[in-house]
Amino acid sequence: MVNDDVRLRSLVAGLDEAVVVVDADRRLVAASPAAAVLLGHAAEGDRIGEEAGGALVLFVGALPELSAYQELRAGFTAAVSHELRTPLARLLILLETATLPGADVGELVEQARLEVEQARDLIDDVLFLGELETGREVVALGSTRALPVLEEVVAAYADRAVHAEVALELTGGTEVELPLRPRMLRVVAENLVANAVRYAGAGSTCRVRATSTAGTAELSVSDDGVGVESAELGRLFERFYRSDTARSTRGTGLGLAIVKHIVSAAGGSVEARGSRGGGLEVVCRFPSRR
């Protein structure tokens, strides 16, 4: 319990909001800096009134939620560390190989560059997801006409699609609006298109579509490629989860997790549909504001 109290005080001390934590007897356990100002000279163990100076009051017992939070954070940290070790280990092997007689230094340097880019992309995605989860990014602010942003994304991925032998198609009405900032919409579309181009397989087609009906607006990215097992569909949005198809290719394993977080924060929902050999479709649905 002592360790839980210490962790709780540390957690609350980092909050910007006015939050007071009291026990079942309404005695003060912890207070955020903003709440401490409202409470004046209240000390730990003092009984707090019903109003608590306008602060948000939380009642706690043995703090099981905090322990679960700590476990989740520790698990995420361990996963990030593991994912970073992979490109760094490969980079070390490449550099050691480059010192051997007869080594193709140019090719090895190119492979090393790709590993550095892999590590950089992972770090960028982890930092961006952290910003989203701490509220530093305003996801839904007004609405954005989808088609111009989607056209930019498809154009940006055209060369990569050609290299992967994946055709890109875009359809959508000019009137379709999605309740996302332009940057957030671009992040969602880029992650979905990148996922299809990377994993669909040669000879497949990736279709990007924006539609709206009464009360609903949708962004969907589908392909007719290799797909995934039906049992894996529900796990595609987990951090660092990679299907068997994806394990042999590059990627941070955070793209779809970022998509789900942005869509959910904007009041929408996201769903993956498909099967092994039957392609994959990811559909983002939003309540229409029109």
pLDDT tens for 18-46 read: 677 777 676 777 777 777 777 666 777 77
Query: According to the model, what pLDDT value does residue 127 have?
Result: 67
Local confidence band at 132 (pLDDT 50, 70, 90 cut-offs): low
The 10s digit of each residue's pLDDT in 51-103 is 444 445 554 444 444 444 444 455 455 555 555 666 777 788 888 888 888 88
Over residues 223-248, the mean pLDDT reads 73
Sequence length of the chain is 290
Query: According to the model, what pLDDT value does residue 1 have?
Result: 45
Task: Look at 93-107, 175-189, 233-247 and tell me which has the smallest mean pLDDT.
Answer: 233-247
Angle, helices 255-265/105-133, rounded to nearest 10 degrees: 20
The 10s digit of each residue's pLDDT in 195-217 is 999 989 999 999 999 998 888 99
- 282 φ/ψ angles, rounded to the nearest 5 degrees: -115, 125
Query: According to the model, what pLDDT value does residue 250 have?
Result: 53
Q: What CATH topology corresponds to 74-133?
A: Helix Hairpins (1.10.287)
- Interatomic CA distance for residues 236 and 246, integer angstroms: 11
- Interatomic CA distance for residues 164 and 223, integer angstroms: 13
74-133 and 144-287 in the same fold: no
Query: According to the model, what pLDDT value does residue 63 have?
Result: 45
Token duo for residue 20: 């007071």
Q: Please give the C-alpha separations between residue 64 and each of 4, 67, 78, in angstroms, as whole numbers.
A: 9, 5, 21
Over residues 89-118, the mean pLDDT reads 83
pTM, 2 dp: 0.57
Percent of the chain scoring above 90 in pLDDT: 23
Which superfamily does CATH assign the domain made up of 144-287 to?
A: Histidine kinase-like ATPase, C-terminal domain (3.30.565.10)
Residue ranges per domain, the chain?
2-62, 74-133, 144-287
Quote the mean pLDDT of the chain.
76
